[in-house]
Amino acid sequence: MTGISTEKSNPTTVEPPVRPLSRNQDFIVLWVGQAISSLGSAISSVSFVLLTLAITGSAARAGLVASVGAITALACRLPAGLLADHFDRRRIMIAADLGRASALGSLVIAGIVGQVTFSHILLAAALEAALSSCFQPAEIAALRHVVAREQLTQAAARNESRMHFATLVGPALGGMLFGVGRMVPFLVDAVSYLMSAVGLTLIKRPLQNGRERTSQRDRGFVSAGLRWLWRERFVRGAVLWFAGVTFVFQSIGLVCVMLAERHGASPAATGLLFSITSAGGLMGALAAPRLVARFRPRTLISAFGWVAATVTPLLAVANSAYLIGLIGAVAFFLGPAANASIVGYILTSADPAIQGRVSSAVHFVGGSLLPVAPAFAGAMIQWIDVVPTVLLYSSILIALAAFATIARSLGVRHDERHHN
Determine the distance from the C-alpha atom of residue 401 to the mean position of all C-alpha atoms in its chain, rounded to a whole number.
22
Give the residue numbers spanning the domain of 315: 224-413
Task: Compute the average pLDDT of residues 240-265.
Answer: 87
Domain end, chosen from 156, 184, 208, is at 208
Tell me the C-alpha distance between 303 and 404, whole Å: 9
**Same domain membership, residue 288 and residue 147:** no
What's this model's pTM, rounded to 2 decimal places?
Answer: 0.78
Whether residue 99 has pLDDT greater than 90: yes
Domain end, chosen from 177, 208, 239, is at 208
Q: Would 101 be classed as within a structural domain?
A: yes
Whether residue 2 has pLDDT greater than 60: no
Sign of CA dihedral 238, 240, 246, 252: negative
**Same domain membership, residue 249 and residue 110:** no
**Same domain membership, residue 166 and residue 262:** no
387-406 pLDDT per residue, tens: 999 999 999 999 999 999 99
**Same domain membership, residue 167 and residue 65:** yes
Q: Would 420 be classed as within a structural domain?
A: no
Task: Compute the average pLDDT of residues 335-353.
Answer: 89
| pLDDT score at 220 | 54
Tell me the C-alpha distance between 396 and 382, whole Å: 19
**Same domain membership, residue 110 and residue 152:** yes
Q: Would 215 be classed as within a structural domain?
A: no
High-pLDDT (> 90) share of the chain, %:
37
> pLDDT-derived band of residue 290, with 50, 70 and 90 as boundaries?
very high
312-329 pLDDT per residue, tens: 999 999 989 899 999 999
> pLDDT-derived band of residue 420, with 50, 70 and 90 as boundaries?
very low
Q: Would 214 be classed as within a structural domain?
A: no
Q: What amino acid occupies position 270?
A: T
> pLDDT-derived band of residue 8, with 50, 70 and 90 as boundaries?
very low
- Quick one: residue 220, left, alpha or beta (phi over 0 = left, psi -120 to 50 = alpha)? left
**Same domain membership, residue 149 and residue 200:** yes
Separation in Å, CA 34 to CA 6, 46, 69, 126, 195: 22, 19, 20, 20, 9
Q: Domain with 257 in it: what CATH number? A: 1.20.1250.20
64-87 pLDDT per residue, tens: 887 788 888 888 988 898 888 888
Which helix (H) or strand (E) segment is 131 a member of?
Answer: helix 118-146
Q: Range with the lowest mean pLDDT among 139-153, 259-273, 276-290?
A: 259-273
Cα separation of the two ends of the chain: 34
Q: Would 16 be classed as within a structural domain?
A: no
Measured at the alpha carbon of residue 81, what is the angle toward residues 191 and 419, in degrees to the nearest 5? Answer: 90
Q: What amino acid occupies position 325?
A: G
